Amino acid sequence: MSQTRPLDGIRVLDFGAFVAGPYCGTILAALGADVVKVESPRGGDPFRRGEGAKNAYFNQMNAGKKSLAVDLKRPEGIALIKALLPGFDVLIENTRPGKMAALGLGPDVARAINPDLVYSSVSGFGDGGPWRDRAAYDTIGLSMSGFLSIMSDKDNTRLAGTCIGDLTTALVSVIGIVTGLVGRFKGTGQGGSEVKTSLLEAMTTITVDAMTQYFETAETPHRESRHPAAQSFALKTSDGQAITLHMSSSPKFFKGMLSAIERTDLLEDPRFATYDDRRAHYFELRPVVEAAFLKHDRDEWERRLIANDVPYAPVVTPDELTEHEQMQWLDMYEPPRDDGLRLLRAPMRFDGARPANHVGAPEVGQNSREVALEVLPEAEVEALIEAGVIAQAPAA
């Protein structure tokens, strides 16, 4: 079956570096867009970390793109970008506010050249306000957004185990870009659009439930404050494995759990009679459930929980994830490459098919000549290469 790629024909100039901008671009590439990564001839995106296209993290965030290595500090480099702009639908950048304008490639200039351009900007804290010019990386955004506080024990702040802020910002950017493209194609009369978000804004999509809890109770949420409302548990089993439950407010799931742990007598306990009672007495219920789960191994608990229709999942570790039967059915990962790296596929399917992601990240300047030739004669392109304005990677 042919691959369904809804963004076939869409072209993207990606000025992103590190994670938030580049991952947005690679999602668009997985969905069919022709994404050209614009980077410095001097080592390219700093996220390459001196390893070219071999760096595993760079590969995941830049798979499926082309690379145009151009010196944006030279007027000839800016002129090349301006010449390319009419042939592109989207521009992505995640520099500090004002940097693109200082280069002569701000949204006003770019959209004057191409009124249909969707210009996507990502910053740390927004393009105004007292924090406008501060440096921001993932941990800074997680801290500033309230996320670290919410995910930590009270009075014991812990760091996150992955760059959820940058990745969330990339996803929010994708939503904004696709919305801008839909608006353009519907002929709303606005042509392109300028789409802005920031690490701080994007994280509101992750903290919205906790903030709602705060608005409801006026109490500051922390790692355990949601567990009573969710009726969720993280439980060790007799073989040292772990299982989570999440029963929410449905009485049938609570009854099923009591049947599984052979404690139906608790149905008569007034502390647990209703959802509100169970929420109020959660920390009295939890040790009872924890003690029960230590009596059997994980396989036995999975059998019992399935039989009683209790919402549960084993705690799956990253080394188990790629081989898990459900993930294999979803076909989320490309087969391992010769260097051992596995690329993630797009997290959605179209007409039942998931777009493949066979192509890794490019070397710095791998496609410079090809892209420049779209708008310049060959002699001029070769002169720019000779002058070091653009860099063309050697043939593989």
Domain residue spans of the chain? 11-207+333-391, 242-314
Q: Provide the sign of the torsion angle of the four alpha carbons 152, 153, 156, 161, taken in this order.
A: negative
Cβ-based burial of 99 (10 A; exposed 0-12, middle 13-18, buried ≥19): middle
Q: Which of 72, 59, 65 is nearest to 37 (CA)?
A: 65
Residues in contact with 221: Cβ distance below 8 Å, sequence separation at least 6, in sequence order = 149, 150, 210, 211, 213, 214
Q: Quote the radius of gyration of the chain (alpha carbons, Å).
A: 25
Q: Which of 49, 48, 82, 83 is nearest to 67 (CA)?
A: 48
DSSP state of 363: P
Q: 11-207+333-391: what CATH class?
A: alpha beta
SS3 38: strand
One pLDDT digit (tens) per residue for the chain, 396 residues: 456 689 999 999 999 999 999 999 999 999 999 999 999 999 999 999 999 999 999 999 999 999 999 999 999 999 999 999 999 999 999 999 999 999 999 999 999 999 999 999 999 999 999 999 999 999 999 999 999 999 999 889 999 999 999 999 999 999 999 999 999 888 755 678 999 999 999 999 999 999 999 999 999 999 999 999 999 999 999 999 999 999 999 999 999 999 999 999 999 999 999 999 999 999 999 999 999 999 999 999 999 999 999 999 999 999 999 999 999 999 999 998 888 888 999 899 998 888 888 888 999 999 999 999 999 999 999 999 999 999 999 865
